[in-house]
Chains A and B, each alone.
Chain A
Amino acid sequence: MADVSRRGLLSGVVAGLAGASGAAHAAFPPAVSTSGGTLTSPVPASRPDALPADAGGYLEGAPANFTLQNARILVGDGSEMPGGVRVEAGRIVEVGPAVRSGTDLGGACIFPGFFDGGSGIGLWEIDLEAGTHDEAEGSDGALPAIRAEESYNPMSALLPVARRQGVLGGLVMPTGGVVSGQAAWMRFAGTRVADATVQSGAGVVVHFGREGTGSLANQARSRMGLLWKLRELLDANEPPAPPDPKAKKPKAGEAPKPEVLTRTQKAWRAIRTGELRVILSASRADDIVAALSLAAEYKLSVVLAGCAEGSLVAREIADSGATVLLAPVTTQPSDWDTLYARYENAAILHAAGVPLVLRAGGAHNLRELPTEAVVAVAAGLPYGAAIAAACGFNAAKVWDLPFGTVAAGRPATFVVAGGDPLEPRTRMQRGFIEGREVSLRSRQSTLFDRFRSFE
C-alpha cells in the first residue's frame, strides 16, 4: 500500500512515460509564481510581478520588437515547422528555421493561441449571482440590434483565467429569446470595451429547437411556432424593391418621405440583404436542417452553432457551406435535443468538409478549449484540423480576424506553450497580443501566492 506521507511538493514527473515533453510538464516549483510554470526565458526581473488593476492584462504599453528561437511552431493552418519568430512593431516579420537569434525557447511550442468560438465570458461573473448577469436582455424575444460587447466587462476576473491557459480571445454571444442579439469577437485584454473589441456585429444569434422557445413577446412556445415567428419577422422586414427606372419621377414636393427605420428594423434589413450574418444555433438534427432551410429560403449569410447531432446531417451542413461553432466534448447525449451527440461529431463533420470552430461554452472554463480539441483528436479529428479549429485559423477565414496564423506579415498574436498546447499537462509560458506581451497571471495566481505558505 502506498504511503500517503510520501506526498511532497510536487516534483517527480514520471519522466519517460510522459513522452518527449517531460521537461515542459515540470511541476511548479513552490517558491515561484504560477504564471507559467518553468520559464526557459524568464520574464525580465524589472517587470512588476503584480499588475496594476488598470493594466488590462498588458505587460507593455506598446508593441515591442523581439525575437524568439528554437521552438516548434504550429502555424495555425494545420502545418508546423521548427524555428523562431521575429516581431517588429506588432507584426511578425519572419518565421521559421531561418530565425536563429533572440530568446532561446528550448523547444517550447509557439502557436496562435486559442480562440473560443462562442461563450458568455465577460457577460457574467458568477452563475448564481443574478447581479452579475448581463448576457440575456430578455425584454423581447427578438432583439437583432442589441450588441454583446455593450454588456461585456473588460475587467472581468474570468478573462485572465482564460488567458492563462493561452485563450487570447473569443466570440462573445448574447443569449435569451429566439433572436438574442449580435455576437462580437473580443480579445481578452484591454481595460475598455473599445480596446477589447476585435469585431462587433459578428452575427445575430438565432436559436432553434427548444433553446429558442419561450414566453417572451416575439417568441413562440413550440418548434412550429418558432419557425412561423421567424418567417413573420423576416417577411415583415423585406427590403424595399429597388426603384423602377421606368417609373415617372415624382414632381417636386410630391416625393415620398424617406423611411424612418428603427434600429431593430435596420438590423432585420441587414439580415435580409446578407450584410449582417446570422449565427443559427441548433442541436437536434432536424433543427439543424430547419435552420439551413430557412437560411436558404431567405438567402441568409449563416454560421451554425451547437450542432450536437450534426454528424447525422453532415452532408446537408457541408452543402450549405456554413462553418460550425462546435463544442465536441461537453455536448453530451444528456438532453432530449442531443440524444445523438457523439465523440466523433467533429471528426465526421470535418471529413464531410465542414469548417469547424471549437468552443468551450459557458464563461468560466474557456481553458477547457484544448481539452475539447484533444478529445476530438482522440475521436478521429486530424490534429492539424483541431489546431485550425481551436486556434482561430478557421474563424479568421469567416470573419477576417487579425489572429489565427503565425506567419510573416500577420499581427504578432501568439502563445508560447511548455509542450503540446492541446495536452492536459501542458502549461503556457508567455502570451502576446499584437506584439504586446500579456500577463498569464490571474486573480487565482494572487490567491495562490497568498495561501502558498501560512508563515
Chain B
Amino acid sequence: MLLSAPVPSPLPAAFAILHATVLPVSGPALPDTPVVVQNGLIAQVGGVVPAGLPTFDATGQYLMPGLIDMHSHMGVYAWPGGGGSSDGNEAVEPFTPRVYSRDSFDPEDPAIPRARAGGITTIQVLPGSANLIGGQAVVLKLRPARTVDGMTFPEAPRSIKMACGENPKRVYGDEKDNDAVQTRMGEIAILRQEFVRASEYATARAGKTPPPRDLDLDVLADVLAGKVRVNLHCYRSHDIADWFRVADEFGFRIVTIHHALDTYKVRDLLAAHGTGIATWPDWWGFKQEAFDGLPEGAALVSSAGVPVATHSDSASHVQRFNIEAGKMVRYGMTEADALESITLDPARLLGVDRFVGSIEVGKQADLALFDKYPLEGTARVTRTWIEGSLVYDRAVEGNPDGRR
C-alpha cells in the first residue's frame, strides 16, 4: 500500500542549487544565483559556492520560497470525499474552541502529494466554518509522513478558526432541533456571551483557587491573552465591522480575515486594526454574502497597506497556486505583491515569517523550483524541498495520481 507519495531519497545535508533565477520574494529577482542549503537551512544566497559541495543544476529555472496556503482543509476532508472522511465541522453547537484540526487530520489524503507537486510546503489546516468558533487550527509542513506528528511546524504559533455571517446561522438556524442561532445579531450575542465567560474564567484561572478546567474557555482565555492567532472566516463589510467592535471590546486581535470578499469596502478598518486578509483571486457569488466579491478587491486591500495572502480553500486550486497568483496580477496586483501573497504574506499572518516565506540566509530551506517564470500559465514545479529534503521530483513522480 502506498503511504502518501513515494519518498524520494533526501539529498545530502549540504548542497547547492546552481544557475536558477532566484525569486527571494524579500527582494528583487536574482538571475543565475546559487543557493546553498545546509542542515535544512538556507546557508548562502549568491557568492561563491564552497568547493566539493554536491550541486544541482537549475539552469533556466526559477527558484521560489516554498508556497504557503493558510486556508486548507486537506486532511480533514480527505479524498475521496464523502461522509466517511468528512471531519472538518464539529457542528454540535456553534461554539467549539475545544476541538483541534490536528485531531481530524489524515496525512494520507492523496491531495497532499499533489499539493507538494505544486510547490506547497506549508499549510494551515482549519476546521470548517459551521461554527462561530470552530476550533483550533494546525500549521503543518507537507513532509511525507505516516502520522501528523511527522508534519508538525513546531515554531508556528497556535491559531484558531472563527466564522460569522451566513454559515453559522444556516447550519443552526435551519435545524428544527437545534436553533442555537438564527441571525447575525444572534451570532454577535453568542460571541459576546462566550467572551464574557472567557474573561471571567481567565481572571479566575490566574487566581489562587483556579476553577475546574474548561477546555473551551482555556483556549478562549489564551486568545484574550494574545497567545492564539485569530483567523476569522468573514465576507460582509458589516460583519467585519461588528467583529472588530467585539474584538476591541474584549481586547483580542483578529489577525486574518479569510475569504474577505467585502474587505475592499472597509480596508481602512483593517489597516487600523493591523489585520490582514486571506482570499481568492476570483471566487464569488456562491452565497449572498459572496455576491459583492470582485477580483480587484485584493489589490485594493493591498494598496491600503494590508497584508494579502492568496488562499485556496480547495484541495484542487492549491495545486495551481502560482496561477492563482498570476490571476491576482491580472486583477491589478503588482507581480511582487502577487508572489508575496503565496509566500511571505501568509508566513507573516501565520507568525512564521522568521522561519519561512522567503529565500534568505538562516531561513528554513523550503523551496519550489519552477521550469518557467511562476506566473506563467504553463509553469510547473520540477522540484520541491522542505528543510533541504527533496519531497517532490517531477522527473520521478510526474503528476502524482489521486489514489490511495
Contact = CB atoms under 8 A, between A and B. Distances in A.
Grouping DSSP codes into helix (H, G, I), strand (E, B) and loop, the A interface class, with mixed when no group exceeds half, is loop
Interface string A1-44: 11011011111111001110000010110100010000000000
Contacts of B401: 333, 340, 342
A332 interface: yes
A151 interface: no
Interface stretch (A86-94, A251-259, A417-425): A417-425
A116 to B, nearest CB: 15
A58 to B, nearest CB: 23
Interface in A123-159: 125-129, 157-158
B43 interface: no
B145 interface: no
B333 A332 contact: no
Interface string B370-388: 0001011111100000000
B320 A340 contact: no
A330 B314 CA distance: 11
B286 A425 contact: no
B79 interface: yes
A158 to B, nearest CB: 7
A14 B378 contact: no
B358 interface: yes
B294 A128 contact: no
B29 interface: yes
B26 A2 contact: yes
A128 B287 contact: yes
Contacts of A377: 377-378
B86 interface: no
B175 to A, nearest CB: 16
B251 interface: no
B296 interface: yes
B287 A126 contact: yes
Nearest to A425: B329
Contacts of A18: 335, 373, 375-376
A381 B94 CA distance: 47
In this complex, the member of B82, B329, B340 whose beta carbon has the largest number of chain A beta carbons within 10 angstroms is B329
Interface in A417-455: 422-427, 444-445, 447-448, 451-452, 454
Given A333-B110, A454-B268, A444 B294 contact: yes
A351 interface: no
B170 A378 contact: no
B402 A424 contact: no
Contacts of A332: 79, 111, 315-316, 402
Contact residue range for chain A?
Answer: 35 or more
A223 interface: no
Given A334-B315, A447-B294, A12 B336 contact: yes
A447 B285 CA distance: 14
Interface stretch (B151-159, B224-232, B302-310): B302-310
A332 B109 CA distance: 13
Contacts, number: 183
A374 interface: yes
Interface in B16-30: 21, 25-27, 29
A364 interface: yes
Contacts of A447: 292, 294
B15 interface: no
A367 B335 CA distance: 20
Contacts of B29: 14, 17
A344 B110 contact: no
A161 B375 CA distance: 23
A175 to B, nearest CB: 16
Given A378-B380, A424-B327, A1 B358 contact: yes
A17 B21 contact: yes
A449 B282 CA distance: 17
A10 B299 contact: yes
Contacts of B294: 444-445, 447-448
A341 B402 contact: yes
Contacts of B292: 447
Contact of B336 (A14, A335, A363): A14
A343 B397 CA distance: 13
Task: Find the residue from A4, A34, A426 having the highest chain B CB count within 10 A.
Answer: A4
B90 interface: no
B329 A422 contact: no
Interface of B: 21, 25-27, 29, 79-82, 110-111, 166, 170, 264-265, 268, 282-288, 291-296, 299-300, 302-303, 305, 307, 315-316, 320, 323, 326-327, 329-330, 332-337, 340, 344, 348, 353, 358, 360, 373, 375-380, 399, 401-403
For the complex of A and B, 5 pairs with smallest distance between CB atoms: A333-B402, A424-B326, A374-B377, A444-B294, A128-B287
Given A13-B334, A27-B334, A126-B291, 15 more contacts: A1-B358, A10-B303, A14-B336, A27-B332, A30-B303, A126-B285, A128-B170, A330-B316, A332-B111, A340-B401, A364-B284, A371-B323, A375-B378, A447-B294, A451-B264
